[in-house]
Chains A and B, each alone.
Chain A
Amino acid sequence: MRSERHLGAVLVAPAILVLVGVALLPILLAAGLSLERRLPIFDIAEFVGLANYRFLAFDPRFWVSLRNTVYFTIVSVSLELLLGLAIALLLQRSFRGRGWMRVVVLLPWAIPTVVSARMWEWLYNAEFGLLNYVAALAGLTTQPVNWLGDPFWALHAAIVMDVWKTMPFAAILLLAGLQTIPRDLYQAARVDGANPWQIFRSVTLPLLKPMILVVLLFRTLDAFRVFDAVYVLTGGGPANSTETLSIYTYKVLFQTLQFGYGSALAVVTFAAVALISLLYLKLMGGAYWRRLLG
């Protein structure tokens, strides 16, 4: 038994080394940096205490980016869940070519986010984009809309792209959840005379709830830290209307090179994500996590 413990420690050592060295330690270092005025190119590094956080509290651009991030997260995750659920219910039916359909649905998820951002950028193009052409043909618009140049449309354009990109993830997980629901339950409900909507409400939905929470957890965290999709699509513009927390932090760090203040933004983003995780942890209950951690 002792040798087994010894072996166990040796085998997990590399994994622990990587996780601690490249993820846990850096977050502490970031917290340290956030207490400094740090401009790497000028070799400036001085301790300023909580000054960066005081500045942050009154930085309107931070609050705008937080608001954008929260709005983006809530709207896109809700849409992804609804659409993902609809597609999961569709894929659960038996039909010819089901395998192909799954490949088709998985595709947006697998395509590099940067590539999808540029695909959508071209679809949204004000002059030559397909979207304006189709909208005009359908009689929805009388003149071309500058989708990415208008603060209202740009944020929603980013949301639509994100929904396209991540709805497959929700659909796949929810489909897996649907397949664990015993067939006899549906049968029994039908025998009792329940209509499809009642069956969905009282059989499918309650049994799918744990999986819905898993999807919500992963998608909320992903949406909250969104960077590449929006950064490539709009760069945070126009007029910071699509600037998310990650994008603002990145710009402060690598465009204005303020490593101290940028790190403070990074730490606040981290704290927000941690808070969201804790909320879900509570929501999902101890049983799920105990089962997961074995």
Chain B
Amino acid sequence: MIRAFLTRSGLVFLLAATALFCLGPVLWQLVTSLKPEPELTRLPPILPVHPTLTHYAAIFSGHPFFRIILNSFIVAATTTGLSLGIGSLAAFALARLGFGGKRILLGVALAISMFPPISIVSPLYLVIRALGLRDTWWALVVTHTTFALPLTLWILTSFFREVPGELYRAAQLDGCTPLGAFRRVLLPLATPGLAAAAILVFIFSWNEFLFALTFTTTEASRTVPVGIALFPGLHEVPYGELAAASLVVTVPIILLVLFFQRRIVEGLTAGAVKG
């Protein structure tokens, strides 16, 4: 009895410690965002005495915050669409069609997922500038898609391989072309894989910083991470507003994790484990 109680309370303690470690910084940001200016520079009290929403009001009135969030949504959504479009066609071919060089392609994709982005940023900058694409969504969509593609290929290929071969062949016997069988059989059966890839690509693009910092110059194309990194504050950082802004841009990501936790875990493990 006593031993069971001890191991049980030990488990509860460890779980609580883990939760505190993971959530602590986020909760502190929430507390900060609700504190009026004078309370920000005072500790104790830890919790706001006169909680206020002024910081939230300020970020939406003073800064081009809406525009930056909109940019991020458009870039991340377009990147997700393109990666899945290009990726699912290629993954279908890799999983089901007979042709040479498959391993080379998957190997190259894997190698590219290991590329340090910094190592190609200089030529990309020159090309993007020469094409007049600086400070446009496209500069980000193209680079994000490239770096999201290897992950997409890996996840989708592994999911397409899991669909039983008989189903695919049966569809072909019923008169489907390979592409028809892909659309009617493989795609619907691999929906979990598509969802996993879509969520991971969206999160990757929403969070990407190096290319976004390099290729954007104004709020016409600036995305969330750049907006947060360069958060206005010439002399003093407005910590209350910064906290409010960080939380607002994190909400979409928190929602994705809440609703699609299982898919995210599947996606993360698919490439590395199932093969």
B86 is an interface residue with CB less than 8 A from chain A = yes
Chain B interfacial residues counted at CB < 8 A: 98
Whether A112 pairs with B87 at a CB distance below 8 angstroms is no
Chain A interfacial residues counted at CB < 8 A: 92
Whether A262 pairs with B122 at a CB distance below 8 angstroms is yes
Whether B210 pairs with A227 at a CB distance below 8 angstroms is yes
Whether B98 pairs with A112 at a CB distance below 8 angstroms is no
Known A122-B239, A211-B273: A26·B103 in contact at CB below 8 Å: no
Per a CB cutoff under 8 Å, which of B117, B149, B254, B258 touches A18? B149
Set of chain A residues within 8 Å of B256, measured between Cβ atoms = 110
Set of chain A residues within 8 Å of B206, measured between Cβ atoms = 112
Whether B22 pairs with A115 at a CB distance below 8 angstroms is no
Whether B225 pairs with A114 at a CB distance below 8 angstroms is yes
Chain B residue nearest to A248 in the complex (CB): B118
A147 is an interface residue with CB less than 8 A from chain B = no
B57 is an interface residue with CB less than 8 A from chain A = no
Binds B, one of A8-16, A56-64, A183-191, A198-206: A8-16
Set of chain B residues within 8 Å of A119, measured between Cβ atoms = 25-26, 28-29, 246
Enumerate the 9 nearest inter-chain pairs by beta-carbon distance, A residue then B residue, closest first.
A29-B123, A225-B116, A8-B99, A15-B90, A26-B120, A270-B119, A228-B209, A22-B146, A11-B93
Known A119-B26, A128-B40, A130-B28: A112·B224 in contact at CB below 8 Å: yes
Set of chain A residues within 8 Å of B93, measured between Cβ atoms = 7-8, 11-12
| CB 8 Å contact bits of A246-278 with B (1 = contact, 0 = none) | 100110011000010011001101100110010
Per a CB cutoff under 8 Å, which of B15, B26, B106, B231 touches A101? B15
Cα(A23)–Cα(B150), bound, Å: 11
Question: For chain A residues 214-253, which have a beta carbon within 8 Å of chain B?
Answer: 214, 218, 221, 224-225, 227-228, 231-232, 245-246, 249-250, 253
**Told that A270-B116, A292-B106 touch, could you supply 20 new A-B pairs with CB distance under 8 A?**
A4-B98, A5-B97, A7-B178, A14-B86, A26-B127, A27-B120, A105-B22, A107-B257, A108-B22, A110-B253, A110-B257, A115-B246, A118-B228, A168-B22, A172-B268, A225-B117, A227-B117, A246-B116, A263-B123, A266-B122
Per a CB cutoff under 8 Å, which of B149, B242, B272 touches A118? B242
